[in-house]
Structure 1
Amino acid sequence: MRKIAREIILCTVSVGFLGLAGYTQSNQVAASAWHKGMPRAMKGLWYSYYKGKPGGALHVVKSAYTFHQIRYSTRFHAYYVFNISFDWVQNTKYRYIGSHKYRVTGIAEGGEAAGKRRTVTFSVTKHHLRTSWATWTKKRPNNMISSKKGSKYGY
């Protein structure tokens, strides 16, 4: 009789633990779920270089990213970010796809694809951000001037 009672108690406890484990597991968010905004690792101002000269700037904020051209001023003998953005994407959401890679999608608000959904895969490390068409770095050009007085972003 004792053996049967002990087996019943053991089964009841085991089923209870399994039920509790199943309940807690269903409330967790998968890493592959879509999240609003932009990944924290991508936020900031990134620069691309072509043959050693600055070519463009990528500005990533909370829920959007924008591309800017970098031009050279012969008057000041320095580079500056041309503030007219030729392409920007708003209302972004992202998904982590593994190995420091994110798939970011949002609505394009400028350029040729205005009003259409754009999806880009970014690879992010501490010092570089890579896309299929460019590599971006946090390293600011040496002779960079601000086109706005007191600009907090450096352009």
Structure 2
Amino acid sequence: MNKGTQLMMTAVASLGFLGAATATTQAATWHQGTPTALRGHWKDKTINIGKYFGTENVYSYESVRVRKSSVNVYLTQSRGWGIRNTKWKRVGSNAYTITGISKFTKSSPARFTFKRVGHGYVHVYYNGRNIAKATPFSPYFYRVSKNA
């Protein structure tokens, strides 16, 4: 075999190995629980909602607590809502999706997505909808504590 043929065969073989290696890294993996990068207490900016109810000073905020196997959302001191029996996967370089069973219906599946939008800030989505979109609250959640 001459050197040109050997070079051509080596190039074709290396492209084949490269294609096989990239195809296996594309697969998404589901993990039990919640990602450790998101665990903790997240909160958005406290605002005066008294003007919406005709009073002077009523302050409120939304918060999200990500625990080892659950995600809970609260409005100031409400009972809250969320999911349990969670599993998660990374859906991009700055986003995670966490699925689980809704705590209200106890049987229907639900999904939270956390998307990093800045240093220390995330947007939180519930079943594809931003949880602060139709409210007067800020969509930017910041980490208050790493302990939920």
Q: Is the TM-score greater than 0.5? A: yes
In 2, the alpha carbon distance for the partners of 1:10 and 1:86 equals 65
Q: Percent identity?
A: 20
Q: CA deviation at 1:103?
A: 3.5
Larger Rg: 1
Identify if the C-alpha distance between structure 1 residues 153 and 24 changes in structure 2 by more than 3 Å, giving closer, same or farther. closer
Q: 1:38 aligns with which of 31, 34, 37?
A: 34
In 2, the alpha carbon distance for the partners of 1:41 and 1:153 equals 12
TM-score normalised to the size of structure 2? 0.60
In 2, the alpha carbon distance for the partners of 1:21 and 1:97 equals 22
**Residue pairs, 1:15-26, within 5 angstroms:** 15-26=12-23
Aligned to 1:118: 110
Letter of the 1:58 counterpart: V
Using CA pairs under 8 Å that are at least 6 residues apart, name the structure with larger relative contact order, 1 or 2.
Answer: 2
Q: 1:128 aligns with which of 113, 121, 145?
A: 121
**Residue pairs, 1:44-55, within 5 angstroms:** 44-52=40-48, 53-55=59-61
Aligned CA RMSD, in angstroms, stands at: 3.2
**Residue pairs, 1:1-150, within 5 angstroms:** 5-30=2-27, 33-36=28-31, 37-52=33-48, 53-71=59-77, 85-90=79-84, 91-97=86-92, 100-108=94-102, 110-111=103-104, 113-124=105-116, 125-131=118-124, 132-134=130-132, 135=139, 136-139=141-144
Report if aligned partners of 1:47, 1:54 keep a CA contact under 8 Å in 2. no
Identify if the C-alpha distance between structure 1 residues 120 and 54 changes in structure 2 by more than 3 Å, giving closer, same or farther. same
Identify if the C-alpha distance between structure 1 residues 15 and 106 changes in structure 2 by more than 3 Å, giving closer, same or farther. same
The alignment covers a number of residue pairs equal to 123
Task: Identify unmatched segments of 5+ residues in structure 2.
Answer: 49-58, 125-129, 133-138
Q: CA deviation at 1:61?
A: 2.4
In 2, the alpha carbon distance for the partners of 1:7 and 1:127 equals 55
Deviation string, structure 1 residues 58-102 (Cα, Å, up to 9, x no partner): 11123421234534xxxxxxxxxx7xx53231223234246x344
